[in-house]
Amino acid sequence: MSPNPDWVKKLAVAAPRGSDLLAAERSASNLDVNQLSDYLFTKAALDTRDRILKILLNDPIFDKSQNYFQGRQERIQASLGKAKRLRQLQVQHSWSEDEYMIANDLLAEPTPYGLHASMFLKTLRDQGTPEQHKLFLTRAENYEIIGCYAQTELGHGSNVRGLETTATWNQSDKTFTLHSPQLTSSKWWIGSLGKVSNHAVVMAQLIIDGKRYGPHPFVVQIRDMNTHQPLPNVHVGDIGPKFGYNTMDNGFLLLNNLKIPHVNMLARFSRVDPSSGRYEQPANPAAIYGTLTWVRSTIVLQSGSVLARGVTIATRYSAVRRQFQDLDAKGNVGENQVLDYTMVQYRLLPLLAATFALHFTGRSMISLYEENQQRVARKQEPPKLKDANRRPGPEELNPGADLMADLHATSCALKSYGSTVAGEGLEVCRRACGGHGYSSFSGIGTWFADYLPTLTWEGDNYMLTQQVCRYLLKTARAVLAGKAGDNDTARILKTFLARRDTGAAFDVLASDSDLVDAYAWRVAYFTFEALQHRDVDKQSWNSLLVDFYRLSTAHAQYMVVKSFYGALVDPSQSSLDRQTTTVLQQLFRLFALHTLEREATEFFSSGATTTRQIQLARKAIMKLLGDIRPHAIRLVDAWSFPDWQLDSSLGREDGNVYEDLFHRASELNPLNKVVFDPYPHNNNILKGEEPKSKL
Amino acid sequence: MSPNPDWVKKLAVAAPRGSDLLAAERSASNLDVNQLSDYLFTKAALDTRDRILKILLNDPIFDKSQNYFQGRQERIQASLGKAKRLRQLQVQHSWSEDEYMIANDLLAEPTPYGLHASMFLKTLRDQGTPEQHKLFLTRAENYEIIGCYAQTELGHGSNVRGLETTATWNQSDKTFTLHSPQLTSSKWWIGSLGKVSNHAVVMAQLIIDGKRYGPHPFVVQIRDMNTHQPLPNVHVGDIGPKFGYNTMDNGFLLLNNLKIPHVNMLARFSRVDPSSGRYEQPANPAAIYGTLTWVRSTIVLQSGSVLARGVTIATRYSAVRRQFQDLDAKGNVGENQVLDYTMVQYRLLPLLAATFALHFTGRSMISLYEENQQRVARKQEPPKLKDANRRPGPEELNPGADLMADLHATSCALKSYGSTVAGEGLEVCRRACGGHGYSSFSGIGTWFADYLPTLTWEGDNYMLTQQVCRYLLKTARAVLAGKAGDNDTARILKTFLARRDTGAAFDVLASDSDLVDAYAWRVAYFTFEALQHRDVDKQSWNSLLVDFYRLSTAHAQYMVVKSFYGALVDPSQSSLDRQTTTVLQQLFRLFALHTLEREATEFFSSGATTTRQIQLARKAIMKLLGDIRPHAIRLVDAWSFPDWQLDSSLGREDGNVYEDLFHRASELNPLNKVVFDPYPHNNNILKGEEPKSKL
């Protein structure tokens, strides 16, 4: 294709232009965007982000203009180039871990170094001895060793106990033999393994003298340090394209009776004594539980900003896009901004509210976690376990573990709920953009596809809910037995029991704290109902899984509503002006009432609300949509995403949507550089090309 | 990467193998798969399909093994090759339109000829005069002219009235000047336009003597017939990559005062008299309405089979995949097939029921449409319209148009609902496959992404619901005035009114027909409620859009439940044996009760059911899941998808899931043919490659 001819270059977009529409939106609201941004992220964090952004923008390797056009192989090769430069910049600017992660966030794509820089280093650090740190960690931190964390297998994901890979101890030469006995034993989905790792932490069933001791971590060299070719008896490669995440080399790995030295079993928490061949557990693995809880809390915090990217794009574009005149309008008043349609508001504004709800919830999870870590650090004791195969439950690890157990269960419930809301919400945002939402240039599709694994990894969102309910049932039993500890779950269950004979009377439409209490009531009601099914009616665990999923979701929704409410009454929030707090309170009510309406059956069947209150909630929601509408653009502005991070024609801060779509299609699109031969009787595909004999 | 080493080739998958598990599933049910398939599709249709499949399988051009690996440009070029060969085969085997479509369905990807073969030919045929048929249609049918249907613009999708492209009549030289006055006037999203069309039917605002007559179709040559380069004053190209549908060349088109002859305005329904320059409407455009209704009915029918592909894959894989031992199991009994978990059943089996529900609904829509077409053909009359700009409503086109209007509204409601259920259901299926669902080899992701535009085109799924409600309100007004016609909507509204003072008493858990009636009651209740809001309370149209969306969905759900029930009591169904009819009835009840439970608030707030019935529905659903579970594999087998069409490792009919995943990853994956240089201090990406200077 020839470049845009002159007559095309002269064309303007139809008035009113997107830039004028967004400017009008911004001037119609007096919400202080900077104040709210600073409250959400702190000014210091935003300044750091801007400093790093400037560095990335100045480096041509980070150019994103071909991202949406590249095929998988070009994409992942380009991504490795970006990863290498990020690492070089990390060294050059002495970036902290946090600063390096900020740079990755701005890049907004997984890179082949992703699992090396996270799980591989973390596992070596947390589970290695000082000797192993010297041997592996230092070199890994230096990118001489590049590695991954190889747990999941072709035939086993969630059920770690079922892993097939074995590590057999050889007393004679003090080695382990790592082996994949079957095809289904192949490690699978392992990030950074497919193309870049030369080492892997392999989770394998430890076998000593024919006895199995469960899965343990082993450091295995898999590729030659110079040629990068697989070592003998190692079969490794990339598992192929995925729905998203295609800049990551998720890999497979099979091992054929490969011997590794004794020192390669990561030995901080358990080891084989080389002289006796005895299995030993020298230290307390509490940290592992802490790590999982921390990872999930991070997912909760991120879910808010993940969703906010989609909401920012869809909200801005809905203010720029105009379709149809209002049916009741008198005369020719022009087309409506689609954001003025209540159906669009009803789809987008509750998601906008959810972004803040999830952000505040994640923040409160992280501080609870940090508080708890300090507590654990103060009174850590080695556990006494009879069954060496069994991992200790968190409550066995220290006597005051109530908060820890509560935090663990809450992190499971919120990880499941938060990532589901974010993942499904992104697709709602994409669809709310109409036809253009389907273009890659919308920036939502790729982001959605890259995010979806979060709903499955770190605990599948359905599986996790069983852990939540196991904890809720256990707490309910303890409450009934008068032995419950001191945490919020016990508190809401006790409150419910105390009012069992009087029932609830929550003023959900007039009182914010009553609204929170209604959510707590619903959790307590269904917890005791589940307990009845399980302990009294003796129903099978399997028959209760659907109830459990609902109960865990109810628990998560309670936590989110409670955390959002907590943020509103938090003294630190007093730095905000009246307008901002008013809008935040409206967003809180929108989130809480909209969720209540969606789950209406549970609210009235538990007696938390009346059916009349639910009908009134619908009216209140429609009113809130109108209240929040004028501030919608400024609210997404407060999320403060740089255009470069969003990489979206529709979500541009300046509103120049159509100019940008046209520019990308007509000037950046490589498909427009070739000419097709369209006729079926010509077997060639490109004009002037030799006909393909096989056609 | 070296090919699989010998020790890998010898590896088997863990027992029990997928093939054994599926064989066991099939032998545990006595459902007659062939009988059910024949009932769904007819034996003749299945035979035709198999005959065509054999032809495609024998032709190497249709090889699918690289589909998931190719980037956009390779994919679309390969797709054009396939499209050319399909066209050659069509000629060679004298395939009918139907047979050609069956071949396309088996290929299971949109091709660049897609819009030529459908909308372009159809528009020329339906809207051209005999002279124009000779000039354009014959050559188009012969693939000398290759074309598209250019309606949507960069700035206007749904609102056809708002199109900016103009066609100005020049009386002096009897030509039209086609012009794109602004950048937003650019035609956009036009299938087959980007790379292959040399002609386009362009919808443009007709202007005669300064007066506007609304959008009309014009045939415009856009590329040279030999060089295939754009003609002067034409700017045309591909709009770039999309979330899916990347084998189609959706294009853009700008025209700069391009003159075309008088004969290029498609003139069957309206024309400009060349001698006087007067605008004339010589014929009845009823057929256009019929076409839209037909297209939507087809989408409803397809939605069942679109969803069935995902359900087939997820159900088969859930029978092969085993994770965790049942928590209540005694001793070591091995891991459960995940299909045995009630949470998995609860996600998949209602969707399995939905596939049949949508299939029977689509079938009944198509026969209603055909019946109606015959009726229209019998008594067609030219309409008398005062406003030339306004398209006549269907009821103006012939006096007995009640059925037509009803069909039109129903097709809108069902298109919106059916495609939403199918699109969202596919993502549920993908997630139900756990981690492997995310692999491209699952076959669900690409299919989902390719299907998603259906939720937006042929009437956006939200926009359409307004048309449905406009019709429902109109019918309700007619019923109240005693002037309603003879159709099902009027019937259910009258029935509701007759019992307004006594209320409903539907035995939804014991009687299938009562279950259908409860759905009808809910529609009628909310129709009159909406009428109250609009006509009495004088609420604005915009304030009611959320209610309208719900009402349209309720109407669609009623139609689906009614159609499924109709299929069960249809005499032709008597050819089915008792086992099959029993299972179909269970599927009907599962679909109807599961939908009722999801929409519980509306059922009890309309008084269609009691709250107790809703609680009991939950129990009934759990029971039905258990009843249907043993037949799940045979039920998806009855959908009868060839493996080649599904192109899925997880959905293989033989259950060899893990072998196939491994084969594709390790042997077909081109990324495993290169070796990366993993170290950040080496700027080259591939081993041995020159370092890139820019890194």
From the CA of A457, how many Å to the nearest CA of chain B? Answer: 8
Binding-site residues of B for FAD sit at 152, 191
- Selected residues 363-382 of chain B with any CB under 8 Å from a CB in chain A: none
CB distance from A660 to chain B under 8 Å?
no
CB distance from B329 to chain A under 8 Å?
no
C-alpha–C-alpha distance, residues B257 and B278, integer Å:
22
DSSP state of A169: E
CB distance from B11 to chain A under 8 Å?
yes
N-terminal to C-terminal alpha carbon distance within chain B: 26
What tokens were used for B227?
A: 């060089």
What tokens were used for B91?
A: 């000629």
CB atoms closer than 10 angstroms to residue A116: 26
Which residue of A lies nearest to B165 if distances are taken between CA atoms? A14
CA angle (A456 as vertex; A451, A462 as ends), nearest 5: 130
Amino acid letter, residue B654: D
Residues B576, B35: contact at Cβ < 8 Å? yes
What tokens were used for A360?
A: 């505040």
Which uninterrupted H or E stretch holds B366?
helix B342-378
CB distance from B256 to chain A under 8 Å?
yes
CB atoms closer than 10 angstroms to residue B578: 7
Question: Average pLDDT of B492-514?
Answer: 96
Amino acid letter, residue B501: D
Report the candidate in A188, A124, A14 with the shortest Cα–Cα distance to residue B154: A14
**Are A439 and B240 an interchain contact pair (Cβ–Cβ within 8 Å)?**
yes
Supply the DSSP string of B397-409, one letter for each residue: H-TTTHHHHHHHH
Residues B261, B237: contact at Cβ < 8 Å? no
Residues A286, A380: contact at Cβ < 8 Å? yes
C-alpha–C-alpha distance, residues B37 and B635, integer Å:
9
User: What is the SS3 assignment for B63-129?
Assistant: CCCCCCCCCHHHHHHHHHHHHHHHHHHHHHCCCCHHHHHHHHHHHCCCCCCHHHHHHHHHHHHHHCC
Supply the DSSP string of A247-299, one letter for each residue: TS--EEEEESSEEEEGGGB--SS-EE-TTT--EE--S-THHHHHHHHHHHHHH
Q: Examine the pLDDT at B483 and tell me if it is beyond 70.
A: yes
Please tell me the predicted confidence (pLDDT) of residue B282: 65
DSSP state of B639: H
**Sign of the torsion formed by the C-alpha atoms of A642, A644, A645 and A646:** positive
Amino acid letter, residue A88: Q
B343: nearest CB among A238, A240, A549: A549
pLDDT in tens, B266-299: 999 999 999 999 999 866 655 556 778 888 999 9
**Are B74 and A71 an interchain contact pair (Cβ–Cβ within 8 Å)?**
yes
Side-chain-facing half-sphere of A435: CA atoms under 13 Å: 21
For residue B379, name the pLDDT band (cuts at 50, 70, 90).
low
**Are B254 and A8 an interchain contact pair (Cβ–Cβ within 8 Å)?**
yes
Q: Are strands A175-179 and A187-190 parallel, antiparallel or unpaired?
A: unpaired
| Annotated catalytic residue within B458, B599, B602, B659 | B458
CB atoms closer than 10 angstroms to residue A610: 15
**Are A189 and B435 an interchain contact pair (Cβ–Cβ within 8 Å)?**
yes
DSSP state of A438: G
C-alpha–C-alpha distance, residues A215 and A193, integer Å:
20
Residues whose CB falls within 8 Å of the CB of residue B628, separated by 6 or more in sequence, listed in order: B349, B352, B353, B583, B586, B587, B590, B635
Report the candidate in A78, A153, A683, A238 with the shortest Cα–Cα distance to residue B68: A238
Residues of B within 8 A of A435 (CB-CB) are 152, 157, 188-189, 453, 456-457
User: Is residue B641 helix, strand or coil?
Assistant: coil
What tokens were used for B419?
A: 């495609």
**Are A144 and B326 an interchain contact pair (Cβ–Cβ within 8 Å)?**
no
**Are A614 and B604 an interchain contact pair (Cβ–Cβ within 8 Å)?**
no
Residues of B within 8 A of A158 (CB-CB) are 323-324, 434
C-alpha–C-alpha distance, residues A76 and B589, integer Å:
48
B164: nearest CB among A14, A164, A244: A14
**Active-site amino acid positions of A:** 458
The verdict on whether residue A152 carries a ligand-binding annotation is yes
Which residues pair with residue A177 across a beta bridge?
A168, A259
Residues of A within 8 A of B189 (CB-CB) are 435
B238: nearest CB among A346, A440, A671: A671
* Global pTM value: 0.94
Amino acid letter, residue A405: A
Strands of A251-255's sheet in order across: A187-190, A251-255, A234-238
What tokens were used for A264?
A: 């390669």
What is the ipTM for the molecules in this complex? 0.93
Report the candidate in A351, A629, A557, A564 with the shortest Cα–Cα distance to residue A573: A564
Residues of B within 8 A of A84 (CB-CB) are 679-680, 682-683, 695
CB distance from A626 to chain B under 8 Å?
no
Q: Examine the pLDDT at B115 and tell me if it is beyond 70.
A: yes
C-alpha–C-alpha distance, residues A385 and B643, integer Å:
51
Amino acid letter, residue B259: K
Residues B489, B406: contact at Cβ < 8 Å? yes
CB distance from A146 to chain B under 8 Å?
yes
State the Rg of chain B over Cα: 28
Bigger pLDDT: A385 vs B682: B682
Residues of B within 8 A of A182 (CB-CB) are 11-14
Residues A391, A409: contact at Cβ < 8 Å? no
Residues of B within 8 A of A191 (CB-CB) are none
Side-chain-facing half-sphere of B671: CA atoms under 13 Å: 33
From the CA of B6, how many Å to the nearest CA of chain A? Answer: 10
Q: Are strands B251-255 and B187-190 parallel, antiparallel or unpaired?
A: antiparallel
Residues of A within 8 A of B542 (CB-CB) are 326-328, 340-342
From the CA of A572, how many Å to the nearest CA of chain B? Answer: 37
C-alpha–C-alpha distance, residues B690 and B165, integer Å:
51
CB distance from A622 to chain B under 8 Å?
yes
From the CA of A156, how many Å to the nearest CA of chain B? Answer: 7
pLDDT mean values, one per 10 residues, chain A (695 residues): 84 93 97 97 97 97 96 96 97 96 97 96 95 98 97 86 94 98 96 98 97 96 97 97 97 98 96 96 64 88 97 98 84 88 97 98 92 74 45 44 82 96 98 96 97 89 93 97 91 96 96 98 98 97 97 98 95 86 97 97 95 95 98 98 98 98 95 94 88 55
**Are A228 and B676 an interchain contact pair (Cβ–Cβ within 8 Å)?**
yes
Which residues pair with residue A205 across a beta bridge?
A166, A215
**Are B669 and A256 an interchain contact pair (Cβ–Cβ within 8 Å)?**
no
Residues of A within 8 A of B81 (CB-CB) are 685, 692, 695
**Are B672 and A238 an interchain contact pair (Cβ–Cβ within 8 Å)?**
yes
What's the farthest any 2 CA atoms get from each other in chain A?
A: 94
Residues of B within 8 A of A430 (CB-CB) are 243
From the CA of B103, how many Å to the nearest CA of chain A? Answer: 16
Residues of B within 8 A of A245 (CB-CB) are 438
On the 0-12 / 13-18 / 19+ scale of CB atoms within 10 A, A373 is: middle
Residues whose CB falls within 8 Å of the CB of residue B188, separated by 6 or more in sequence, listed in order: A435, A661, B152, B153, B154, B239, B250, B252
**Are B14 and A185 an interchain contact pair (Cβ–Cβ within 8 Å)?**
yes
CB distance from A695 to chain B under 8 Å?
yes
From the CA of B671, how many Å to the nearest CA of chain A? Answer: 6
Which residue of B lies nearest to A454 if distances are taken between CA atoms? B435
- Selected residues 447-466 of chain A with any CB under 8 Å from a CB in chain B: 449, 452-453, 455-457, 460, 462
Report the candidate in B344, B357, B355, B336 with the shortest Cα–Cα distance to residue B428: B344
Task: Pick the residue of A239, A344, A457, A606 with the most B CBs within 10 A to test the interface with B by mutation.
Answer: A239
What tokens were used for A590?
A: 């929108």
Please tell me the predicted confidence (pLDDT) of residue A682: 92
Cα–Cα distances (Å) from B125 to B76, B217, B642, in that order, read: 28, 12, 34
N-terminal to C-terminal alpha carbon distance within chain A: 26
User: Is residue A212 helix, strand or coil?
Assistant: strand
The verdict on whether B458 is a catalytic residue reads: yes
Amino acid letter, residue A259: K
Residues whose CB falls within 8 Å of the CB of residue B226, separated by 6 or more in sequence, listed in order: none
Q: Examine the pLDDT at B364 and tell me if it is beyond 70.
A: yes
pLDDT in tens, B422-456: 999 999 999 999 999 999 999 999 999 999 999 98
- Selected residues 214-243 of chain B with any CB under 8 Å from a CB in chain A: 227-230, 233, 235, 237-243
Residues B464, B416: contact at Cβ < 8 Å? yes
Residues whose CB falls within 8 Å of the CB of residue A370, separated by 6 or more in sequence, listed in order: none
